[in-house]
Amino acid sequence: MKKTQGFTLIELLVVVAIIALLSAVLFPVMASARESAKKTASISNLRQISVAWQMYNGDYDDTIMRVRIPGDGKDYYWWGSWDGVRLDEREGLLFPYMNNKGVQADPSFDDTLREAIGFTGYGYNYAYLSPSRYEPPTWEEIPVRVILSQIRDVSQTIAFATCARINNWAYSRPTLEGNAYLEPPSSNYPTFHARANGVGVIVWCDSHVTVTRPAYRNGSFGYGFEAEDFLREHLGDIDEDGSFSTDELFDLN
């Protein structure tokens, strides 16, 4: 009877070493490929959101969409309605133009802290596209109408971008959470989120999409914030002129 020849211990160790080496080489490549795929999906999502935004504006005589429209017992946002308890994505301002809630959320962002309200990982340039004023004696919000023709250069004005925020008032330490309001640099509260291998995604008012790294701050600023907290979470500003006091990529001029 012929004797079966098995692996020796040395051969087995060599095989294990080869597998470990291949894993060390391939796993980072696979992880990077997954992140690239998510970034590609995010680019596609933002482009579709922007096209829906353009259609919405067109249906309202080029009046630019508000970030929030108060209703009877609920508020309406672009991604859904919220009554304080329940989110209804089908009642989002842009839903009729997309009919697909899957494109509303960034696959790279999982907001477990504020998931009930449905923050999608994308923020809106609300400060300039959806401004408000407040007058005495009630100081109630008065929406200010903005029309598309007021934007001097739609290719250089931000509409949406990947967005999150640092919350340093509700938790024991500064914590990353969802946010639908993309802040301009002058607000001193960076919200542009570079969650895709150190870069974030921007869609402009003409619907073209760019990928870029944030401008990061130093030291202390704003309401007791520390730059290291934002750097740790890849949160920065979208800035072109090197000054955080100007909003050249957000404003209408």
Dump pLDDT digits (tens) for 7-34: 677 777 777 888 877 777 665 655 555 6
Judging by beta carbons within 10 Å of its beta carbon (0-12, 13-18, 19+), is residue 56 exposed, middle or buried? middle
Residue 209 in domain: yes
Residue 65 in domain: no
Q: Is residue 96 very low, low, confident or very high in pLDDT (cuts 50, 70, 90)? A: very high
Cα dihedral sign, 150-155-157-163: positive
Residue 156 in domain: yes
Residue 25 in domain: no
Residue 64 in domain: no
Domain hosting 135: range is 107-236
H or E stretch at 36: helix 9-59
* 8 A C-beta contact, residue 162 and residue 194: yes
Q: Is residue 208 very low, low, confident or very high in pLDDT (cuts 50, 70, 90)? A: very high
> To the nearest whole percent, how much of the chain has pLDDT over 90?
61
Q: How many residues does the chain have?
A: 253
Identify the pLDDT of residue 112: 61
Q: Which residue has the tokens 């004797």?
A: 3
Q: Is the pLDDT of residue 49 over 60?
A: yes
Q: Is residue 55 very low, low, confident or very high in pLDDT (cuts 50, 70, 90)? A: very high
Residue 38 in domain: no
Identify the pLDDT of residue 30: 53
Q: What is the pTM of this model?
A: 0.84
Residue 162 in domain: yes
Identify the pLDDT of residue 241: 96
Task: For residue 9, give Cα distances in angstroms to 5, 6, 209.
Answer: 13, 10, 56
User: How many structural domains does the chain have?
Assistant: 1
Residue 118 in domain: yes
Judging by beta carbons within 10 Å of its beta carbon (0-12, 13-18, 19+), is residue 182 exposed, middle or buried? buried
* Mean pLDDT of the chain, nearest integer: 88
